[in-house]
């Protein structure tokens, strides 16, 4: 997630608390029914077989089509600020059904406005009017390299204040605290620039101009689109509706050498919250609530 808040220390401490909350790292965990298939298979648990850039087939390792009427606890953890200490902007992430729900085959993550309240935070309580929804696969699924994809629609808002998306974070700070161990933003969105769905790589040595796909735009994000990354050993390819909009081979600062730091397990994260009190995506009286991020599925292959 492209950090625009000044309070980076609280953010990093929040990730440490996530790990302390009993969400142990895994190398790879395949979800029930998501068995690997042979290179000649026409379909697998993820759907029609997909082809890698080298011509071989991707094999399904994770799939959730959000059936039923509740989030599957064997696949996802709800990221509550009260438990993890994680926050973005003025968002208090909660497990309330107002912010996180599953119905009609879709996951709904909602940023909303209400009365002032004290958001409980292990790092530091804060007052806010805004709640949001965040879920992640940490402790249930993680993977090094592969294809990761969601089909989703963002809010139709056209004023500043909403912020969320699909991103990935390492299970351990193998090379040091953020950003040294990496972060992969597959499709990050701000309502202040509503056609931009930004992929980015974060690491020590990041180039702001070259490590983000500033040309990755969608005319109407409130329609369903597929957002994906193909994470290869030395290159990442970012796609919208199976059309590549950005690719990058990264160059970390010494002493790291590519593919470091993107050579260890990452988990998937989905969230919808609000922006800060200032800046280009500040939350104001004109921000359009509720901000609803709807996800039809999340999938991964290796």
Give domain status of residue 56, yes or no: no
Q: What is the pLDDT of residue 36?
A: 38
Give domain status of residue 42, yes or no: no
Which pTM does this prediction carry? 0.89
pLDDT band at 106 (very low <50, low <70, confident <90, very high): very high
DSSP H/E element including 45: none
Bridge partner list, 104: none
Q: pLDDT per residue over 190-210, tens digit each?
A: 999 999 999 999 999 999 999
Give domain status of residue 54, yes or no: no
State which of 6-10, 53-57, 130-134 shows the largest mean pLDDT: 130-134
pLDDT (mean) for 214-240? 98
Give domain status of residue 39, yes or no: no
- What's the structural domain count of the chain? 1
pLDDT band at 37 (very low <50, low <70, confident <90, very high): very low
Give domain status of residue 237, yes or no: yes
Give domain status of residue 276, yes or no: yes
Give domain status of residue 48, yes or no: no
Tokens 């002493």, residue? 255
Give domain status of residue 37, yes or no: no
In the DSSP assignment, the letter for residue 73 is T
Q: pLDDT per residue over 150-187, tens digit each?
A: 999 999 999 999 999 999 999 999 999 999 999 999 99
Identify which has the larger pLDDT, 243 or 14. Answer: 243
CA distances from 37 to 120, 130, 302 (A): 45, 44, 11
Q: Can you read off the two tokens belonging to residue 253?
A: 């600062």
> What CATH number does residue 113 fall under?
2.60.120.200
The domain in which residue 266 lies consists of 8-24+62-301
Instruction: Identify whether the C-beta of residue 302 lies closer than 8 Å to the C-beta of residue 143.
Output: yes
Q: Is the pLDDT of residue 268 over 90?
A: yes
pLDDT (mean) for 213-236? 98
Q: What is the chain's mean pLDDT, rounded?
A: 90
């Amino acid at each position: 997630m492209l950090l625009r808040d000044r309070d980076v220390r609280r953010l990093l401490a929040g990730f440490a608390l996530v790990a302390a909350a009993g969400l142990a790292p895994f190398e790879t965990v395949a979800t029930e029914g998501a068995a690997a298939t042979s290179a000649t298979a026409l379909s697998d648990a993820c759907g029609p077989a997909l082809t890698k850039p080298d011509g071989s087939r991707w094999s399904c390792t994770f799939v959730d089509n959000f059936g039923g009427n509740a989030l599957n606890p064997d696949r996802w953890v709800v990221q509550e600020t009260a438990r993890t200490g994680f926050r973005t902007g003025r968002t208090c992430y909660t497990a309330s059904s107002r912010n996180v729900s599953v119905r009609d085959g879709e996951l709904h993550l909602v940023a909303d406005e209400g009365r002032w309240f004290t958001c409980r935070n292990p790092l530091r309580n804060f007052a806010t009017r805004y709640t949001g929804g965040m879920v992640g696969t940490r402790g249930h699924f993680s993977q090094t390299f592969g294809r990761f994809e969601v089909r989703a629609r963002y809010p139709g808002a056209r004023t500043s204040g909403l912020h969320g998306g699909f991103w990935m974070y390492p299970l351990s700070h193998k090379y040091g605290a953020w950003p040294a161990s990496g972060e992969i933003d597959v499709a990050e969105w701000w309502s202040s620039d509503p056609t931009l769905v930004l992929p980015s790589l974060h690491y020590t040595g990041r180039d702001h101009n070259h490590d983000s796909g500033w040309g990755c735009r969608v005319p109407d994000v409130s329609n369903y689109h597929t957002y994906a990354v193909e994470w290869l050993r030395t290159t990442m390819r970012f796609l919208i509706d199976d059309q590549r909009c950005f690719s990058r081979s990264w160059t970390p600062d010494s002493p790291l050498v590519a593919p470091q730091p993107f050579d260890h397990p990452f988990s998937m994260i989905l969230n919808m919250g609000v922006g800060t009190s200032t800046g280009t995506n500040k939350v104001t009286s004109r921000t359009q609530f509720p901000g609803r991020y709807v996800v039809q599925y999340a999938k991964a292959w290796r």
